């Protein structure tokens, strides 16, 4: 009789647990782990809550098990990794060891070996399945990029490094192309919304708009899409018809360049890469235009991407006799650079600023006739001149 009562109690408790879980379904995630292989001390989970606040949870791992719970109402991107007692993790350790996952407001299960992020498998999240599909599409190209970056870090020959950088540009273009096609095929996806925060800096405003317009009204309310809206606004601010965005930076001689000090002149911001032959040819053409119109108040500032420690940009400036104007070197693969600020996703690109500080022309962005269009604009401003 006692056994029968215990059985009834257990059934009732199970039913209550299921009912409670159903009540919370859609309002919180429960991440439950069943690990194997390497034993670890604790788990770290980094994510953003539904209301946009950064969140971090650290939980002990007992007998290869742990449970993490929090309130969310939509799928969210997260990073998970494991550590042992006394281990101190650097930011580089976190970046290298963390596994990217997508949490959903429901019961989720994590399995695999804590020591190998590639073996970890998250079940119960449809958004995670979408992300894994994207990852499988981009993995070969991403592997090529990683290999090129590694070989580049060991390369001392400028000629070979230049060829590798050109190849790297093509690989990145291929990667962003794969992701963009995924976005169009998955228009109402939280994976698309999150990945667009990176890809938006490498595609045109029209392409960004095409992805955004496909989002549902509900998805447009999530944090990632709200961030994307801010990116779109920032991009729109550097299109012709808007006031330029002032900047202060050091040139290659470590002297301050303040764009505000150029007020009263026409200024061309010329974005280029030291290893890109099209950029160099375009700058040589720009040099001719500079000498033609300098007496009319035209000035130039070039903003180039360089490889740290390579000084390739300075070498090319001397070789091409471009010392006539100021040059700013931007670190290779850097966030918050002037390339990002002005939404320059391809080179060469030139931005023409009027004496009152307004942007009156943008020439580049994959336009093969950009130099000719800039020439026409300068003739319109200053009149046709011959040497």
- Mean per-residue pLDDT, 250-256: 93
Class of domain 23-124 as given by CATH = mainly beta
Work out the mean pLDDT of the chain and round it to a whole number: 86
User: Is residue 21 predicted with pLDDT exceeding 60?
Assistant: no
**What secondary structure letter does DSSP report for 337?**
-
For residues 275 and 294, the model is more confident at 294
Domain coordinates in residue numbering, the chain: 23-124, 128-236, 248-382
**pTM of the predicted structure, to 2 decimals:** 0.74
Percentage of the chain modeled with pLDDT above 70: 89
**What's the pLDDT at 58?**
93
76 sits in which H/E element: strand 76-83
Q: pLDDT (tens digit, 9 = 90+) per residue, 172-228? A: 889 999 999 999 999 999 999 999 998 998 888 899 999 999 999 999 999 999 999
Least confident of 138-147, 163-172, 211-220, 301-310: 301-310
User: Is residue 170 predicted with pLDDT exceeding 50?
Assistant: yes
The neighbour count for residue 368, using CB atoms within 10 Å, is: 8
* Residue 25: half-sphere exposure toward Cβ, Cα within 13 Å: 10
Instruction: Kindly indicate whether the domain formed by 248-382 is annotated with CATH number 3.40.50.300.
Output: no
Q: pLDDT (tens digit, 9 = 90+) per residue, 79-105? A: 999 998 778 888 888 888 899 999 999
For the beta sheet containing 28-36, the strands, ordered from the edge strand earlier in sequence to the opposite edge, are 65-71, 28-36, 107-113, 121-123
* Residue 296: half-sphere exposure toward Cβ, Cα within 13 Å: 17
């Amino acid at each position: 009789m006692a056994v029968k009562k215990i059985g009834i109690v257990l059934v009732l408790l199970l039913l209550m647990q299921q009912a409670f879980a159903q009540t919370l379904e859609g309002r919180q995630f429960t991440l439950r782990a069943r690990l194997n292989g390497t034993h670890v001390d604790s788990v770290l989970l980094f994510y953003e809550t539904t209301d946009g606040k950064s969140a971090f949870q650290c939980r002990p791992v007992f007998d290869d098990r742990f449970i993490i719970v929090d309130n969310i109402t939509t799928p969210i991107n997260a990073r998970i990794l494991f550590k042992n007692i006394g281990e101190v993790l650097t930011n580089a350790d976190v970046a290298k060891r963390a596994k990217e996952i997508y949490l959903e407001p429901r019961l989720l299960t994590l399995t695999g070996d804590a020591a190998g992020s590639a073996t970890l498998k998250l079940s119960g999240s449809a958004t995670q399945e979408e992300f894994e599909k994207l990852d499988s599409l981009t993995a070969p190209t991403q592997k090529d990029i990683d290999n090129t970056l590694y070989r580049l870090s060991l390369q001392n020959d400028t000629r070979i490094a230049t060829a590798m950088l050109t190849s790297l540009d093509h690989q990145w273009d291929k990667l962003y192309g794969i992701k963009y096609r995924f976005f169009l095929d998955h228009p109402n996806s939280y994976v698309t919304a999150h990945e667009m925060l990176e890809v938006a800096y490498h595609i045109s405003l029209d392409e960004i708009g095409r992805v955004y317009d496909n989002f549902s009204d509900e998805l447009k309310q999530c944090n990632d899409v709200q961030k994307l809206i801010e990116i779109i606004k920032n991009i729109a601010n550097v299109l012709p018809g808007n006031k330029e965005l002032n900047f202060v930076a050091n040139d290659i001689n470590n002297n301050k360049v303040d764009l505000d000090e150029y007020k009263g002149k026409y200024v061309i911001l010329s974005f280029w890469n030291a290893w890109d032959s099209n950029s160099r040819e375009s700058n040589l053409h720009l040099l001719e235009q500079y000498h033609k119109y300098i007496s009319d108040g035209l000035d130039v500032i070039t903003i180039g991407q360089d490889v740290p420690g390579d000084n390739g940009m300075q070498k090319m400036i001397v070789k091409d006799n471009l010392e006539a104007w100021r040059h700013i070197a931007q670190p290779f693969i850097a966030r918050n650079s002037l390339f990002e600020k002005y939404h320059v996703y391809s080179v060469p690109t030139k931005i023409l600023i009027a004496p009152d500080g307004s942007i009156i022309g943008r020439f580049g962005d994959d336009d093969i006739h950009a130099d000719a269009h800039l020439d026409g604009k300068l003739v319109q401003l200053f009149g046709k001149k011959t040497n």
